[in-house]
Chain A
């Protein structure tokens, strides 16, 4: 009985120390991380639709559960931020939609896809850029070629390509629903 008490206390102390240190590091880094994330989001937004400022607008969150936010990008249109399930984990993506409900660009902010395959969708290399450029000018019916659309899927990453296309389509619908 005494032994188990001793073990519990030691484990508790170790965990408490580690938790304390982590709390300190978190406190020290959280402002910088928030700032970095804001910069990253802004960069992703301007990559899909250039505007001086981005202003969040209200939308029907119940009808579009995968849409995180919609921001009005000046007079040019809207930037939709959406989080959806990819092949390996959740993907967060910004989609630019102009006033004619055409996609102006997509940019992947966060993902956990397989390196070398699905991760190409977010990569800055030629293949990644070529994949994302296919979305420019597409409308809400955007789809990969296997599903009857125009988007050439990344080889070895059909699921990633499919989910990205579907989410881009949903983003256009969400903007359409704004009226």
Chain B
């Protein structure tokens, strides 16, 4: 298990959303502005990495029968810690992400990785697995946010970028974003859950197409070598 392979797996070939197809509810619910996507993606990345490391470290003393119960306790513990720390030290970010943080407890990416990867692998690979799977998740969220925001309200970087007072990044979600065309002309339906389904469906189809093409190419190359 090398790092480069894990990187490609997390971002492309075993992407949590587009290939494993887990953690989809949160993906559809929150991808309405770039700020939400980046915030949720990074929160998941941090919590996923912590949970992966801890679960991997205690994997030998967890009896198989009660492993799920223990995973849930560990995950809920970390989510609560991150929630409390955010509330105490970065209240603006906590106010903006407050709704999403508790959702991470039931985000099946985390329990999915614990079950499929961390209960069998040592701490090192699990740490990188957390980072790369988290990155893969964040990338999908960002893609969806950019698409939905642009089509839905003609904006880029809502909440994250503020151009009213000079170009700067806002971590408290107050930036207005860059208006690329007037909001009235946007297809507001893209901001509704329906738009989430549509975007995710398009992304999934594109991903499957790319994966299939590259598999075919590989097969063809192998055949030629054999002949």
Contact = CB atoms under 8 A, between A and B. Distances in A.
A1 interface: no
Nearest to B149: A116
B1 interface: no
Interface stretch (B2-10, B82-90, B215-223): B82-90
Contacts of A26: 84
B88 A11 contact: no
B192 to A, nearest CB: 7
A124 interface: yes
Contacts, number: 64
Contact of A18 (B62, B77, B87, B99): B77
Interface stretch (A32-40, A59-67, A140-148): A32-40
Interface in B83-102: 84-85, 87-89, 91, 95, 99
A155 interface: yes
Contacts of B85: 25, 29
Interface stretch (B12-20, B65-73, B104-112, B131-139): B65-73
A116 B37 CA distance: 13
Given A6-B63, A36-B91, A156 B36 contact: no
B203 interface: no
B188 interface: yes
A155 B188 contact: yes
A22 B77 CA distance: 7
A45 B15 CA distance: 46
B205 interface: no
Contacts of B116: none
Nearest to B189: A156
Given A22-B77, A25-B81, A32 B89 contact: yes
Contact of B30 (A11, A22, A32, A115): A115
B35 to A, nearest CB: 10
B191 interface: yes
Contacts of A28: 88
Given A36-B91, A115-B36, A116-B33, A125 B176 contact: yes
A92 to B, nearest CB: 12
| Binding site secondary structure of chain B | helix
Given A29-B84, A29-B88, A155-B188, A14 B70 contact: yes
Contact of A10 (B61, B87, B91, B99): B61
A30 B69 CA distance: 28
B199 interface: no
Interface in B145-187: 174, 176
A25 B70 contact: no
Contacts of B30: 115
Contacts of B77: 18, 21-22
B32 interface: yes
A78 B115 CA distance: 55
Contact of B66 (A10, A36, A112, A117): A10
Contact of B73 (A18, A29, A36, A112): A18
Interface in A1-33: 6-7, 10-11, 14-15, 18, 21-22, 25-26, 28-29, 32-33
Given A115-B99, A116-B33, A124-B174, A10 B84 contact: no
Interface string A38-79: 001000000000000000000000000000000000000000
B208 interface: no
A46 B146 CA distance: 36
B66 A22 contact: no
Contacts of A117: 191-192
A116 B176 contact: no
The list of the 3 closest CB pairs from A to B, nearest first, reads: A29-B88, A116-B32, A32-B88
